[in-house]
Amino acid sequence: MKVHDALNEQIGNEFYAAYLYLAMVAYFEERHLEGFAHWMRMQNAEEIAHAMKLFDHLADIGGTVVLQAIDQPPADFSSPLDVMQRSLAHEQHVTKKIHELYALAVEEQDYATQVLLQWFVTEQVEEEKSVGDIVGRLKLVGDSPEALLLMDRELASRTPE
């Protein structure tokens, strides 16, 4: 079934996102930006939860979960702004994939999957806004280490949703 195959693909996409965010954690930790690292750890955990939400849904509707290989994420970031811009680009990519999956569920008249994906559509709006706000603030910070450290302290206060 097309929707089942697409759900399996999206499970892989979500696990890749978790892996990508873990690579970003490593970048921030190497630079002693523990607040940014904490924020990315929270992103990592969210992406794993998203993958499991899709995993459980596919199992619940009688589909077969087929886990896919996960590509190696990049590790060559040039700055905190670069990391966050890549994070935003990735979230925009995920949004596109969710929208395509939703359109397929509509085409296939898979109402249960449409309901699940409505949650993901809303979640992606929040994800893009959150990362986009950080990108915007990093652009304001520019080359100021003091402002970067203030942002780092603020990002350290993020709590699970």
What pLDDT, on the 0 to 100 scale, is given for residue 129?
98
What residues does each domain of the chain span?
2-155
Encoding tokens for residue 89? Answer: 């680009």
pLDDT digits (tens, 9 = 90+) for 3-28: 999 999 999 999 999 999 999 999 99
Dihedral angle over CA of 66, 93, 119, 155, nearest 10: 110
What pLDDT, on the 0 to 100 scale, is given for residue 1?
83
**Is residue 161 scored above 80 in pLDDT?**
no
What predicted TM-score, i.e. pTM, was given to this entire model? Answer: 0.94
pLDDT digits (tens, 9 = 90+) for 92-116: 999 999 999 999 999 999 999 999 9
Measured over all CA atoms, what is the biggest interatomic distance in the chain, rounded to whole angstroms? 54
The CATH fold of domain 2-155: Ferritin (1.20.1260)
Question: Which residues, 6+ apart, have CB-to-CB distance to 76 below 8 Å?
Answer: none
Q: CA 127 → CA 28, 32, 90, distances in Å? A: 20, 24, 10
